[in-house]
Every structure is written in C-alpha cells, then in structure tokens.
A and B are shown apart, each in its own frame.
Chain A
Amino acid sequence: MSTVIQSPEPIDPRENSARLEELHRIWGNEPGIAGQLKAVNHSTVGMRFILTGFAFLLVSGVLAMFIRLQLAWFDVEVLDPQRFNQFVTMHGTTMMFLFAVPILEGFAMYLLPKMLGSRDLPYPRLSAFGYWCYLFGGLFLYSSFLFDAVPDGGWFMYVPLTDSTYSPGLGADFWLIGVTFAEIAAVLAAIELIVAILICRAPGMDLRRMPLFAWAMLVTAFMIAFGFPPLILASVLLEIQRAFDFAFFEVARGGDPLLWQHLFWLFGHPEVYIIFLPAAGMVSMVIATFARRPIVGYTWIVLAFLSVGFLSFGLWVHHMYTVGIPLLALAFFSAASMAVAIPMGIQVFAWIATLWSGRPWMRLPMLYLLGFFLIFIIGGLTGVMLAMVPLDWQVHDTHFVVAHLHYVLIGGMMFPLFAGLYYWLPLATGRMPSESLSRTAFWMVFIGFNMTFLPMHLTGLLGMPRRVYTYPEELSVQWLNLLSTAAGFVMAVGMVAIALDVFISLRAGRRAARNPWNAGTLEWAVPFPVPQFNFASVPRVHGRYPLWDQPETDQASDRADGLLGKPGDGRRELLGTGILSAQPEQVIRVSTSTWLPLLSALALSALLACFIAKFYLGAALMLVPLLALFAAWAWTTGHRHAPLRLEAEPGLMLPSQYACRNAPGWWALMISLLIDGALFASLVFAYFYLWLGTQPWPPEGIAVGGWTLPLVSLALLAASAAAGQWAWRALGARTDGEGAQDGRPGGNEARARGGLAWLLSAALGGGFIAAHWLALAGPVGAPQVHAYASVVWTLAGFHMLHVAVAALAAVFVAARLRCGFINAARPLEARVTAALWRYVVAQGLVTWAVIHLFPRMG
C-alpha cells in the first residue's frame, strides 16, 4: 500500500529556503545563557531531563558503591550505621524518583513529537516548568547533606520511624518536600504526554499505526495519573503531621501507621511498571529495526501494555504480606501478582517472535536487548516466586528481594534504556558510537551486574537481612558478599565506560548518515542536525512504518511546502489531529521562549524552603509572587487577535485551538481533573481506612454538630454552581466548531452579563468556604485532637482549596471577557472554567456527604 507523495507543484527553491530560515528563527532558542534558561522547546527540555537523569544515576551509583563496600565483609566499617541508612535511603530514592522516572519522561519528551510527526509538545511551558521542579526538587533533597539532615528512613519512609518522635530532625522533611517537588514534573509530564499522543499525531497516523513507544507512554502516563497521587497525598499528610502535629498515622490518637504503607505501595507497585512500560516501548521500537521487519503481534503488544497498566494496580499489598492482613486478602494480591505475568509473557513472546522471523542485525543496541531478555526474565520469575505468600514470608526483608528488584529494574529498565540510548544517540548528536569501546562497556556492565546480584539470591535465602549495615558471621555469606562488591565495581567501571563512550562519540564519532539504522519510524525522517521544529512540513502517514512504506517521506518533510510549511505570522504552530482518526482538526499555537517557567519554579522553591525552615509566614508570603507568576502565565496563553481559522496548507483551512472542541486546553483540564480525582479518592480512602480502625466514629469528645450550618454551606455551594452555569450560558458559546466559521464576536452586553455572573459565582464560592469553616470549627474542634478531626479538616481543606482555585479562575475569566479574549466564537477559557467549576461542585457534594452524612448514619 505504498503511496507516492507528490507536492501539487514543486516549491521555488528561494521561497523554500526563505521559509526554512523563518522557521529556524521562530523555533530557535534565543542566544546566550538567558536563551537557554528561557527555552521551552521539547528537544531542549527533553535533553535536559536525560542529562540530569544520568547525573543523578552517577551520584546514586557512587552511593551504591559505598553501600557495597560496607557490606563487603561482616565486620568492616566504611560507613557508620546512620550513614549507611542515609546512603541506602538516598540511593533508592534517587534511583526511583530522580533517575528512572524523569529520564524515561525525558526520552519520551525528546522522541515522541518526532515519532508522531509533530513539531513540539502541546504545552511547552509546562514541560519546562516540570524540568525546573525536577531539578530543584532533586537539589533540595541533596542539599540535606549540607545541613547534616540526610533522610535515613528508607526510600519507603515507613511511619512511625519517620514521624517527628522517631525522626526529630529535618531529614524526613527534606525527603517529603524534595520528592513531592520533583514529582510535580512527573505529573505534569503525564498531562503533556497524554495530550500529545492523543491529539498531536501526524495526519494518517490513526491508532493502529501509532508507534508502540507511543502506546507504552500513553499507558504509562495514565498510570502516573492514577499512581502518583496516593504518594503525593501520603507525603502531604505526613508532612502536615510532622509540621502541625496532626494525627493521621499516630496510634495513640486514633491514627494508623498502615495507612502510610497502603498509600505508599498503591503508588510503589505501579511505579515499577511505570518504569518498565516505557522501556518495553523502547524494546518494541529497537527490536523491529534490528530484526529488519515490522514487529510481530502489534495488537498483542498493545494488549499487553494495557493489561499491565491495569493489573499492576492490583499488586500493592504484596509488599505488605507480613503486616498481619487476613489471608484471603493476601491471596487476592497473590492472584493478581500471578495474573500480571500473563501480559508480561505475551509481550516477551511477541518480541522473540519478531527476532525469530526477522534477520537480526547484531549491533550494539541489539546486544543490550539480549542482556535485557536474560536478566529481565530471571527477575520476572523470582517475582512470581515472591508473589507466593509462604515464600515471601520466608525471604521478606532479605537480600533475595534485593536481588529480585535489581534484576527487574536494571534488567527491565536500564538495559532497554541503554539500548535506546545507543539507538537514538545518532539522532541527538549526529554521530555514531564506537563499536569497540561500547561493546567492552556492555560486557563489563552485563557480567558485573550478574556477578553482583546473582549471589544475593543465595545470601538472601541464607537469611542475610536487607537495609542493615552488617550481618552475622555465622551466616557464612562474607565470601559471596565480597564477590558482589568486587563485581559491583566492575559494573561501575562499565557505566563510566558508557559515559566515556558517549562523550568520545560526541567529539570524535563517525558522522552518522541520515537514518543510520535504516529504521522505519518517523523520528528518523528528520535531517541532522535536527532542527528545533523537527519537520519543515508535517508529514502524512500511510502505514505503521512510514519510512519503510514510503521512503520519500523524509525528503517531503524537509521541504516547506506541505502542512504548516508556510510560517504563520511568527508564531510556533502545531497541527492538531483527531484522537482516533488522526485527521487534521486544528492549528495549535504554542508559546515561545519565556522566563515564566523558571521564575515560577524558583518562587515555588523559595516557598518550600521557607516551609522547611518552619518560617510559615514567609511561605505564605511567597504565595503572592507565585500566584502573580501563574496569573501572568495564564494571561499570556491566548492571542486576542489570532485568527479563528488558519491556513494549514493551500486549500486546507482549520480552526485555531480557541475555537476547536478538542483544544489542548480542554484536554489538559480533563487529565488534570483525572489526576486530582485520584488524589481526592486517595483522601476519601484514608478517611474510611481510619474509620475502619476507630470505634465510635466520631470518637468520644467530638460532636457531629447541628444541621443548620452544613445546610447553609451546601446551599451556598449549590448557588455558586448555578451562578457558574448561568455565566457559561450567558456567553452563548458555540462549541461545535461552527463558531469559527461565522466568527461571531459575541455582544458586549452578553460579555458584561457573563463577567458579572462569573464574579457572582466566585463570591458565592468564598461564602461557601466561610460557612463550611464555621460548620466544622464548632463541633470538630482542633485537628490535632484525634485522627478523625485531622482527616475531616484535611478533607474539607482540600475541597476549600479547590473552591478557592475555581474562584480565582472565575475572576480570571471575568477579566478575560472584559478584555475581549473570550467571546461566543472563542469560548475555550470560559468552557474550561465552567467544567472546572462543575468538577469542584461535584467534589464538594462527595466531601459534604462524607463529612456530614456518613458519621450520622451509624
């Protein structure tokens, strides 16, 4: 089904080069350091994530070497016990939060637009902001070394060890605040990637032609959306408990330390698959190229990704087999842990079948894939062993688990990552890696890894505990440990050799020809060096492997005569396409370089620094610049005079995003609300979990109070909802895309009426906050008294915060209406705010029922 791409008439070469020059000007980063700090382009930001991730990998690797030195023999003292705990904590935390997740997101940010045939991601400022949050969060965590307050409670931070009684210093605070700060990046990237994959694909790339890496990232991003909120919530609750003496996890005041474990592992187990799935996506890309044939079982692999994405959420309690949960509940999780092996097996067989039926080309990335197969399958099998409750009881907290998790994570994530690194290196640098040094490095890492971790299965079975700085001589495991340590250093040298190899190839590598591996997917259609806009014309796709199906795709996308080839009045433009069909739907105008992401992240760091220093007034004051920056950000999002219809190519007029139903702003809201909904659901879960362990509910000494104030607050909430709905109706918006055609500006009177209605809804929202506060202040009392009061106040506060945000958004919309940014034909911002308001009201109804109805039912 090869189709020859023909331009209607060849473009004049002078016109072509003028357009290319203009595209370079529009898309290029500004010169100098300031230009770098302001950059928002996906290639720049993605590359930063990757480089920073590798830097954290090296730092964390050094910590691991110290840990191995300490364990080399039973009676050495390289690190004292406290230092050992700190290094173990920082090693695990860094690898999980600062290396694995961010680097994979960096790869996705860098590669996905190229793979999907897009020029950029839909929210460039958001990804830049995410990067700064990640960097500052990581630095925040490591700054604890300067204050001699390094977290030492383990990467899982179990309470009560980490509460203020048993960890009185600032260590746990550095962990909770630093990691949550860095997680903002993960959550923002999830929004960015979901929307990019859904609406920014090249025309013709419908769902069944989407590269498997995109499928993997789509599933991963949804997993982040559901998996990270429980941990964010747990961290916030623990930090509130530490800072303000709330009682969520404290048994004496009705709290429950197991709540922490549930919330942590509700994140922690999906996290393993959040790390693995992008790597599986990479494997699927690399393996097709080096087997020199299309992937076998595309549908089956998508099935596997999707099933893993869901089933991995049913595994969290298998980290908690020994905490005293009834046997039947354990069996549910044991069953789910075994069920997840089915999709995992499906994808492995599909990959093997691809190799089997292709003509494998044994280049370096392929070598890493073979390493991946061997190591990951062993890790997967020990995982099935650990899913069995009786075996887990035996080896829980021993080095057997350490061996298993490193086989899974290094085998399942790091080997594919290195395969991907070498595979896409020519794309980023325009040079080939050296085959000799890189092969040596591979063998050092491969042999070093296996010699380090294979013996740990044995030391663990013999009873060597994990997370402890020593072990008894009687276990007779010192020789095995010495072997692990020695091999660990071989692996470390291999890692340094990889870094060296990449550096040398940058300097002296052979220049890569275009598409050097003869791959089939779109990221290889770009010229070297890769322009910031990727494609001069957005390519049209007619198959799963565009470069194999139509080899002329790369030449066609180099010429500026196709889709979006003609630069539109100096703005960065992307093509938006339909979710299922990938037919052109809209032209999306995105932001250019700006200081806003960096400044916002700096303001946020200042706020968090004040908080950790217990300078709460300063933290509250820092809200002013932060909100001002966010307001400036929101204000500069739309262009008042942007035409409602733009010419995407001769003869194809498309609406701009302000007038399109599938606008990126709309989808950003939907995905954000999904994430927020998961956060809210986790909090409601916490409420009922605490209820389960407390009799009576509310406890003695706390009343439920009368009906009057709760009903007044409910009435105010309903009134604000009605006002919001009225405000939205008053605009007379056209969301069917037709508004773009008639270009109706919307009457001044309607806009004024709408503005007033928005202000009214904001005022009623403010009234609700005050009324609900009063309704709780009397009967519930101080939140420190009991876990019941803590969780009720947190739930109510969580919702009040949402009402406040929605009220601010309503004021914003009123101002935008007044200034003519919003009208009937350009309703996007009002539509988004109206939907936000509906969500907040729905959340309020649930909150109200939980707080005021549930305790009265018993």
Chain B
Amino acid sequence: MLEKIGPWRLTGMAAPLALWAAHFLAVYIMQGLACGEGWQRQRVAGAEMVTWWLLLATVVALALIAWMGAWALRCRRRAAFEVGASGEADRPAALAARRRRFLSTLTTLVALVSCIAVVFTTIPILLLPPCA
C-alpha cells in the first residue's frame, strides 16, 4: 500500500498536497457544522470545543505531511548516493536513480509548500471565534 504513495511516484509526489486539501475541507466542514448545526459549541479551556477539533485536525495534517516530507528526504539522500555511485552512465539503473532523486526532491518541496499552506489556513483559527 505504502509503495503506491512512495515519494518516487507521481501519486506520492501529490500526496502532501492532497493532505492539505483534506485538511482544508475538514476544517471548512467542521466549521460549517458548528455554525449551521450548533455542533461542539460548548466552551472548554477558554475556547469553543470546535476550535480544539480544528486545531487537532491541523496537528494531525502537519504530522502526516512532515512524515511524508521526512520520508522523501531520506529517499532523496539514498537516491543521491546511488546517483553518485552510478556515475553519468546512461544505463537504466543510473537513470532510475536520477529519476528517484528528482521525484523525491520534488516531494520534499511539495511537503514544504503543503506545510506552509496548512499553517496559513490555521492562523485564522487561532485569531477568530468560529462563528462570528
């Protein structure tokens, strides 16, 4: 299963941004439910419960994205080592190593952009009440 979203594949490359999208939708839906249906509006520890749920979603999303980024970074190091070992030859193994390096670099950067985007989305949660 994890093979399919490895950072050396197209699906793996898009996965951190897919997580951003999932987080974005999750906070938008939870906030909509809170304001439309009165879901989790009780106050706990100085904020409405829904705010805590939104922050929990953020922590989970950030943790998953960070894990993917770290995985991609490890793959990148390994691929960079393989590229160094295989030299400039046009053999399939050398090409595959360079491709993996390219894709895992890209995945690392995608994870970084996704993290920034999730943090951007979260700032208003910290600043605003859920249903003003």
Contacts and interface: CB of A to CB of B under 8 A. Distances in A.
Interface in B91-132: 92, 95-96, 98-99, 102-103, 105-106, 109-110, 113, 116-117, 120-121, 123-125, 127-132
Contact of B27 (A313, A327, A332, A334): A332
A358 interface: no
A852 B3 CA distance: 36
B42 to A, nearest CB: 17
Contact of A335 (B13, B103, B121): B121
Interface in A318-343: 326-329, 331-332, 334-336, 338-339, 342-343
Contacts of B70: none
Chain A interface category by residue count: 35 or more
B10 A303 contact: no
A342 B120 CA distance: 11
A394 interface: no
Contact of A326 (B105, B116, B132): B132
Contacts of A207: 10, 99, 102-103
Interface stretch (A247-255, A491-499, A578-586): A578-586
A332 B96 CA distance: 40
Contacts of B33: 692
Given A206-B99, A299-B102, A692-B36, A339 B132 contact: no
Interface string A545-556: 000000000000
Contacts of A693: 36
A427 B29 CA distance: 50
Contacts of B125: 328
B32 interface: yes
B102 A542 contact: no
A542 B90 contact: yes
A581 B95 contact: yes
B32 to A, nearest CB: 7
B55 interface: no
Contacts of B96: 581
B102 to A, nearest CB: 4
A303 B105 CA distance: 10
Interface stretch (A304-312, A455-463, A790-798): A304-312
A208 B99 contact: yes
Contact of B92 (A208, A300, A311, A581): A581
A302 interface: yes
A339 B116 contact: yes
A773 B68 CA distance: 46
Interface residues of B, number: 45
A302 B132 CA distance: 39
Contacts of B106: 299, 302-303, 306
B102 A307 contact: no
Highest count of chain B CB atoms <10 Å: which of A326, A343, A580, A581 = A326
Contacts of B123: 331, 335
B60 interface: no
A345 to B, nearest CB: 11
B9 interface: yes
27 contacts: A207-B99, A208-B99, A208-B102, A303-B113, A309-B17, A310-B18, A310-B20, A313-B21, A326-B31, A327-B132, A328-B124, A328-B131, A329-B32, A332-B28, A336-B24, A336-B117, A339-B120, A339-B121, A342-B117, A580-B10, A581-B92, A581-B96, A581-B99, A692-B32, A692-B33, A692-B37, A693-B36
Interface of A: 1, 3, 206-208, 299-300, 302-303, 306-307, 309-311, 313-314, 326-329, 331-332, 334-336, 338-339, 342-343, 542, 579-581, 583, 692-693
Interface of B: 8-10, 13-14, 17-18, 20-21, 24, 27-28, 31-33, 35-37, 88, 90, 92, 95-96, 98-99, 102-103, 105-106, 109-110, 113, 116-117, 120-121, 123-125, 127-132
Across the A-B interface, give the 8 residue pairs with the lowest CB-CB distance, nearest first: A331-B124, A310-B17, A208-B102, A335-B120, A339-B117, A339-B120, A327-B132, A692-B36
